[in-house]
Amino acid sequence: MRAAFPDHWPMLGRYAELLAAAADERGLLGPREASRLWERHLLNCAVIAALIPPGSSIVDVGSGPGLPGLPIAIVRPDCRVVLLEPTLRRVEFLHEVVSDLGIGDRVTVDRGRAEDRAGWLRTGVVTARAVAPLARLLPLTLPLVAPGGMILAIKGMSAERELADIEPDCLRLGVRARVQSVGEGIVDPLTTVVVLEAPPSGATTAR
């Protein structure tokens, strides 16, 4: 695992320490999750960085304890990340981690919800993990995506079914959608990501 992100392993490790210490006490993860932080959470999230274009601006919607936003920010220092989270105790933890890791110059913590940011916050990439089914996630996040940008939603076995549910909406909105697996040689099982690409500026969509 260490060979996957050798330059960023110390910072990933420090984040793992902070998360493990606060997981149960502050209700950041389920009661049995601390023992499998690396495979199920940190690396599972970090591998989706391979799908993100260089120098991207990213909004991590419903960031929770920073997943997937913080692992992405750690392994992709070329990107700027906004951790968007409405719950105060999680926001406080995110501020602590960002300060501890010394990444405040490129990672911002924003207490709020996606629906509250529509209309003024636009970004190249939106990430989400365990936020909502795609049928709810698409209308929440698409207003945050700049033309030609993308939504990366980490999903499990439900990915294909959820994608089928929103196919009519994708056609109507001009959104290109696919399911992609990432993390070969790093995580097992692979991380399943639904990639939703917003239409470019000026593109017309079906009504």
202 inside domain: no
Tell me what the mean pLDDT of segment 24-29 comes to: 74
Q: Is the pLDDT of residue 3 over 60?
A: yes
Give the whole-angstrom CA distance, residue 95 versus residue 86.
13
What is the count of structural domains for the chain? 1
In a domain, 29, yes or no: yes
Tell me whether residue 159 is in a domain.
yes
- Report pLDDT digits (tens) over 42-71: 999 999 999 999 999 999 999 999 999 999
Q: Which domain holds residue 66?
A: 2-197
* CA 58/CA 80 separation, integer angstroms: 6
**Residue, of 168 and 22, whose pLDDT is higher:** 168
Those residues with Cβ within 8 angstroms of residue 124's Cβ, 6 or more apart along the chain or in another chain: 53, 56, 57, 58, 145, 146, 148, 149, 150
**pLDDT, greater one: 119 or 177:** 177
Query: What are the two backbone dihedrals, phi and then psi, of residue 16, each rounded to the nearest 5 degrees?
Result: -60, -40
The residues, any chain, with a CB within 8 Å of residue 47's CB and separated by 6 or more, are 4, 182, 183, 186, 187, 191
Angle between helices 88-101 and 9-23 (to 10 degrees): 150
pLDDT tier, 4 (very low <50, low <70, confident <90, very high otherwise): confident
User: How far is 206 from 98, CA to CA, in rounded Å?
Assistant: 42
The predicted pLDDT at position 206 comes to 39
- pTM of the shown model: 0.93
Check if the beta carbon of residue 12 is closer than 8 Å to that of residue 116: no
Query: What pLDDT score does 2 carry?
Result: 65
> Is 67 in a helix, a strand, or coil?
coil
d(CA 133, CA 143): 17
Q: Which residue has the tokens 């499998």?
A: 36
The token pair that represents 14 in the structure block: 């420090």
28 in a structural domain: yes
Give the per-residue pLDDT at 204. 41
Residue 203 in domain: no
- Has residue 36 been placed in a domain? yes
Q: Is the per-residue pLDDT at 35 higher than 70? A: no
Query: What average pLDDT does the chain have?
Result: 91
Q: For residue 69, give both structure tokens.
A: 């936003």
pLDDT in tens, 148-169: 999 999 998 899 999 999 999 9
142, 135 Cβ separation under 8 angstroms: no
Give a yes or no: residue 156 inside a domain: yes
Q: How many CA atoms within 13 Å lie on the side-chain side of 150?
A: 18
Give 119's pLDDT tier (boundaries 50, 70, 90): confident
* Site of tokens 């990340």: 81
Q: Residue 111 belongs to a domain with what CATH number? A: 3.40.50.150
Evaluate whether residue 112 is within a structural domain. Answer: yes
